[in-house]
Amino acid sequence: MTAFSLDEAQLARCAELRTLAAGRLRPLAGKGEPGRVNRALVAELGALGLLSRLFTVGALELCLMRESLARECTEAETALALQGLGAHPVHAHGTPEQRDRWLPRVSDGTAVAAFALSEPGAGSDAAALSLGAERDGPDGWRLTGEKCWISNAPDADLYTVFARTTPGAGARGVTAFLVPADRPGLTGSRLDMLAPHAIGSLSFDGVPVTAADVLGEPDAGFRVAMDTLNLFRPSVGAFAVGMAQAALDATVAHTARRGAFGGRLQDLQAVAHQVAEMSVRTEAARLMVYAAATAYDEGAPDVPRRSAMAKLLATETAQYVVDTAVQLHGARALCRGHLLEHLYREVRAPRIYEGASEVQRGIIAKELYKTLEAR
């Protein structure tokens, strides 16, 4: 199958997801408290079997899930994605004991997962992590330091935490740990952010971890992080495409019925051309996301570049499309509770998290020059 067309079964699953999102998930999302994990919504995602699919589908199917949910309910999409982001390292790099303990609970929505990589002084430069892991006996460490801008914190039940086990070794001295939220010395606080989902900071005061908590191998945690991000970056693009499509759909409907200057907005060439541009950019971003996801599923050697390109184009496109949609709707789109007011707040963060747009450009350029040097 190519990356540029979907078969009937895939189209049917996308339609089914949009129906579920509108009928069963959106009402639960509306009852959630801003800035806190909506456990009822997470549980419903589990009951519908969507969370378990995070660990059985490929990158393309993950993208289709995220895009479909985002078109109807961004809160549901985000809840699903954060479960996957936080628990994928356990699925891909965990021991049988770690997987058996946590993945069933993540899959049924009774445990909330989080991916704890960013720090106050290490956001885009993930290799500059300073959360320290000091040796505590032959088989343990103590984690001391802070994490910041962690989605699902401080409400999560388990955290994939990246800490520096070898000082001065850069990316080669980082270890990934699975840290349950009830470990002594681990506390957290909420951050009041533009995006409405739960996000916070974590403080580690000598938090004990052992070899049984390591994900992968000691000092090889950066590979765990990059493996996770290479999978989820295209799907961040899918989230962005879903938001762009929702904004485009709303704009087509609005401009078709809104009267202006003796006709309808769609009759004004300036408006029609803007809508056409929104459509072209959204479809281009969608195709690049599908292509990157297919490359990941096929084990292509250029996955880092394709993933970065997909996230970059899709998130920048979504920002443009939503902003244009707000402009064409006028003041009504600025009213609290309007779909576009909601999307306008949601669409900004993806250009920063999981690697800012500038970081993606750096990855793309690095991969291009690496290819040249290999010739």
Q: Would you state the pLDDT for residue 3?
A: 46
Q: What is the pLDDT of residues 120-173, one digit of tens each?
A: 887 667 678 889 999 998 889 999 999 999 999 999 999 999 999 998 888 889
Q: Which residues contact 55 (CB under 8 A, 6 or more apart)?
A: 87, 88, 91, 103, 107
Tell me if 177 sits within 8 A of 214, measured CB to CB: yes
Q: What's the mean per-residue pLDDT of the chain?
A: 93
Q: Reply yes or no on domain 113-222 having CATH 2.40.110.10.
A: yes
Query: Taking Cα atoms as reference points, which of 197, 314, 311 lies closest to residue 245?
Result: 314
Q: Would you state the pLDDT for residue 256?
A: 93
Torsion of CA 227, 230, 231, 236, to 10 degrees: 140
Please check the confidence at residue 4 and state whether its pLDDT lies above 70.
Answer: no
Q: Which residues contact 119 (CB under 8 A, 6 or more apart)?
A: 129, 130, 131, 145, 146, 147, 148
Residue extents of the structural domains in the chain = 8-108, 113-222, 225-374
Q: Which CATH superfamily is domain 225-374 in?
A: Butyryl-CoA Dehydrogenase, subunit A, domain 3 (1.20.140.10)
Helix (H) or strand (E) holding 161, with range, is strand 158-164
Q: What is the pLDDT of residues 323-347, one digit of tens each?
A: 999 999 999 999 999 999 999 999 9
Pick the CATH number of 8-108 from 3.30.56.10, 1.20.1260.10, 3.30.1360.30, 1.10.540.10: 1.10.540.10
CB pairs under 8 A, 24+ apart, for 2-5?
Answer: 2/294, 3/60, 3/287, 3/290, 3/291, 3/293, 3/294, 3/295, 4/287, 4/290, 4/291
Q: What is the pLDDT of residues 250-287, one digit of tens each?
A: 999 999 998 878 788 989 999 999 999 999 999 999 99
Q: Give counts: helices (H), strands (E), the chain.
A: 12, 10
Q: Which residues contact 116 (CB under 8 A, 6 or more apart)?
A: 147, 150, 153, 159, 160, 161, 162, 179, 202
Residue type, 160: T
With a pLDDT cut of 90, the percent of the chain lying above it is 83
Active site positions, annotated: 354
Q: What is the pLDDT of residues 20-63, one digit of tens each?
A: 999 999 999 999 998 899 999 999 999 999 999 999 999 999 99
